[in-house]
Amino acid sequence: MMPANRPTQRPATARLLYVDAHGAIRHAPRSQFVNLLRPGDLVIANDAATLPASLLGVHARTGRSIEVRLAGKPSLAHRDVQRFIAVAFGAGDFRTRTEDRPPPPVFEAGDELELGSLSARVERVLGHPRLLALRFEAEVDELWRGLATHGRPIQYAHLSEPLSLWDVWTSIAGTPVAYEPPSAGFVLDWQMLADFEARGIEFATLTHAAGISSTGDPELDRMLPFDEPYRIPVATEEAIAAALCEGRRIVAIGTTVVRALEHSAATFGSVAAGESVANLRIGAETQLRVVDVILSGTHEPGTSHYELLQAFADKAALLRADDALESAGYRTHEFGDSVLIERDSRRYSRLAGSGIEAGDFPENQGLVGRRTPRILRRFAPAPAHVVQESHRLSPARRLLCLRD
């Protein structure tokens, strides 16, 4: 596959490869995404706006040129912007492939980094010479001004022209907390949201600090994705609870939405409103509790994004999809084409009625029942067989469905 090399979010030629629950594959224009949904589906997208997270500067102790790419912080709070995790590069910019970038100088705790009008200090080196804990020496408002003035969107060599912030903000972008764009959301525009409403498709959002996709270093790339904070609104929690009770599909726009929802369900027993940090790796061994369908970009085998897709479809189905993408000349990367993958019905049908609960999975032990999500409005009761056979409902959620 060839990378998309122009920053056009919704090109008229964009395509969509659809892998259904039985592994069958078909091609469609991406503009027809809404036609592949069903009335009653709940579509959830990430409304994070993208930070200008690439900062060129100088390592003060050695005088060497560096690039710092911000890659994480403890929370989504607007004022929590003085401490970041960052990945450092040597001299150069996006025009050189990340794999070919020279290494930065050796960092030590206390080193000062001069990044335009901003100054940051290395607090710690985090288990890899290029992975740093930084603290900016500026007040919050000054820091935001410095990022806006000196920062640029993180960019890779497959794009030939410098990116602007409007290139990487989706149509629903809100709080600037993402480090790279939640690019699956490029498919959305206001006309599509109107089409959702006209067809009886529900739409909701969450905010997830989408992280960086590549560092150019195999050892560091194996650590991806880093822990990523997210926030789920009460309205989204309610919409998910209703969809689960009523047996309707939940469609995630992008891997970040899957990470947030599945982490919340694994931690609290059901998706819960509020802020948390996604730290689970999702892959072939993951039993999805919430999401039925994912719309995503085209990802290369071996990446963390591709690994997540294996929770939806088995290896054979993904290999067939890879062959179809390659032979049809689909475009890759953030401005490329898309895939729509339904959960493998053969895999998940074995769980229906089996008595398996969220707490039966090792990562959930001791967590189910710790918190019951807030249900602020009543829903029509789901048929008893739907509640009893859905492996996606925690015991607490089943009781709420039956009671409601």
Q: Domains in the chain, please, with CATH?
A: 2-50+161-349 (3.40.1780.10), 54-150 (2.40.10)
Beta strand pairing status for 118-125 and 293-297? unpaired
User: What angle, rounded to 10 degrees, do the helices at 234-246 and 395-403 form?
Assistant: 80
pLDDT of residue 377: 29
| pTM > 0.75 | yes
pLDDT of residue 381: 36
pLDDT of residue 4: 87
pLDDT of residue 402: 63
Q: What is the 3-state secondary structure (H, E, C) of the chain?
A: CEECCCCCCCCCCCEEEEECCCCCEEEEEHHHHHHHCCCCCEEEEECCEECCCEEEEEECCCCEEEEEEEEECCCCCCCCCCEEEEEEECCCCCCCCHHHCCCCCCCCCCCEEEECCEEEEEEEECCCCCEEEEEECCCHHHHHHHHHHHCECCCCCCCCCCCCHHHHCCCCCCCEEECCCCHHHHHCCHHHHHHHHHCCCEEEEEEECCCCCCCCCHHHHCCCCCCEEEEECHHHHHHHHHHHHHCCCEEEECHHHHHHHHHHHHHHCCCCCEEEEECCCCCCCCCCCCCCEEEEECCCCCCHHHHHHCCCCCHHHHHHHHHHHHHCCCEECCCCCEEEEECCHHHHHCCCCCCCCHHHCHHHCCCCCCCCCCCCCCCCCCCHHHHHHCCCCCHHHHHHHHHC
Could you state, in chain order, the average pLDDT of each consecutive group of 10 residues for the chain (404 residues)?
A: 86 96 96 96 98 98 98 92 96 93 96 97 97 96 95 94 94 97 96 97 98 93 94 98 96 98 96 96 94 94 90 95 96 94 74 41 36 31 39 62 63
pLDDT of residue 230: 98
pLDDT of residue 14: 96
